[in-house]
Amino acid sequence: MKSPCIPIAAAGALGAVLLVCLAPSAAAQTLYGIDSRGGLSNPWAVELTGPPAGMCGYPSGPMGGFPTFVAVAGGCPNPLPFAGWPALEGDIAVNDVLDTVWMAGMNEIAEYTTAGVMLTGFFVPFNVTGLAVDPATNHVWVSSVGSYRRLNPACVMPALDIGPFPNPLPGQLTDIDWDPMSNTLWGCTSIGTIGNFPPGAAGPTCSFTTFGIGLAAPLTGIALDLTTPGVASPHRVLCVTNGMNIARIDVQASCAAGAAILEPASFAFPTNPFSVTGGPLSGLAFSGHGVKFGAVTGPVAQLTGSEIIGAATAVTMTGAAPGAALVFSGAGGALCPPMPGPGGVMLVVAPTFVAGPYAHLGTLSLPVVIPAGAAAGTPTFLQFINQKTAGGFEATQGLLMTTSRP
């Protein structure tokens, strides 16, 4: 039978060839939010998936409740003070192409690496309720309760690009997100309304309420899942929060009904809606980072950057003993329960393809190029199995990656 895997182009001297393997209901991505436990002067950017579920407790990370980084000062203004939940001010956004995170306080905005190193920052003459990034133009969309505009970011003083435009939705704008497929914006409000609108439009092209899905108003964050529509989910998906809970919403069905309709659960978000782990969140942003699953008992597998269609990234193994590593990838998804593999290590991936071995001294990075014609929402489950030079085997946890639109 023909393999349901799509080869990803080889890249770099290692000549790594990994496979994107089709698996249903496996849409993977992570979400960023601002955790309120950092307080007014110490906003935390946290990254999360859904809470672990099922017999094996997949996924296993990243999970909310631990700071990804704290928005500290740099050479430009940084987002302090922060209004904090349940105030409407403050938001977070991600540029997946550059793999950077934007954060806003009351009237200050800053861009950071995912490790928390400030890149730029500036003041605006209004309180920020929402942020969105258009990576194709490097513009930042910024909303206040009654309007929104597009800025050319710069240290200290940004330039107004277009706008301001009045809020086209009922209630106060509490967050916005950019839709690269239609060049439109999604917004959510203080009274629980969600809408889609072209920049400058007098009203939305689609709007619906969230009253029946367990999200009490006000809504505090909205994020468009850029792996959809695609292989794992054939329709658009929005992630929305009121700070305490997060719901994933079927866009087409909700627009048609005028009321939010939940998206079926997925591997990364096995319950829908789900409660936020840790402090309440302000803002919400999509990231195309990998999702970990299975227990970490030795070295760690992770995706460097985001799995953006048409871009280069890498999968890495860190914390290993010197040796030679194989990469197991599977079309069948995650193994639950895990099964014994080489040398007694536990396999969490049903392998249909093996790459390697690759000699290393403890850290291994395999470059990967996602072809421009790859389908969005195409998942890859993988795991490193390392044969140690000193004898014996060790294995990383599993890693689920899913192709995402820029």
Predicted local distance difference test score (pLDDT) of residue 249? 97
Q: How far apart are CA 110 and CA 122, in angstroms?
A: 6
Average pLDDT over every residue of 156-176: 94
pLDDT computed for residue 19 by the predictor: 38
- CATH number for position 397: 2.60.40.10
Candidates 207, 280, 292; CA nearest to 242 is 280
* pLDDT tens track for 107-134: 999 999 998 999 999 999 999 999 999 9
**Banded pLDDT at 15 (limits 50, 70, 90):** very low
Q: 60 or 101: whose pLDDT is higher?
A: 101
What does the pLDDT average to over 194-199? 98
Per residue in 365-390, pLDDT (tens digit) is 999 888 998 999 999 999 999 999 99
Same domain? For 141 and 273 the reply is yes
Q: Are residues 319 and 200 in the same domain?
A: no
pLDDT digits (tens, 9 = 90+) for 303-350: 998 999 998 899 999 999 999 999 999 767 899 999 999 999 999 998
Average pLDDT across the chain, whole number: 88
Give the model's pLDDT for residue 28.
67
Give the pTM.
Answer: 0.91
Same domain, 309 and 175: no
Q: According to the model, what pLDDT value does residue 352 have?
A: 85
**How far is Cα 151 from Cα 132, in angstroms, rounded to an integer?**
10
Per-residue pLDDT, 71: 84
Q: Is the pLDDT of residue 78 over 80?
A: yes
pLDDT of residue 32 exceeding 90, the answer is yes
Which range of 37-41, 92-96, 330-334 scores highest in mean pLDDT? It is: 92-96
Residues 327 and 398 sit within 8 Å (Cβ to Cβ): no
Helix, strand or coil, per DSSP, at residue 253? helix
Share of the chain above pLDDT 70, in %: 92
Q: Would you place residue 20 in the very low, low, confident or very high pLDDT band (cuts 50, 70, 90)?
A: very low
Q: Is the same domain home to 298 and 246?
A: no
Which token pair is 330? 């599977």
Domain shared by 245 and 355, yes or no: no
What is the domain-level CATH number for residue 170? Answer: 2.120.10
- End-of-domain residue from the set 223, 253, 287: 287
Report how many domains make up the chain. 2
**Residue appearing with tokens 């985001």:** 306
Q: Are 264 and 295 in the same domain?
A: no
DSSP character for 271? S
Residue numbers of the domain that contains 230: 30-287
Residue given tokens 């899913």 in the structure block? 402
pLDDT of 148 over the 90 cut: yes
C-alpha distance from residue 326 to each of 20, 290, 292, 395 (Å): 16, 19, 18, 10
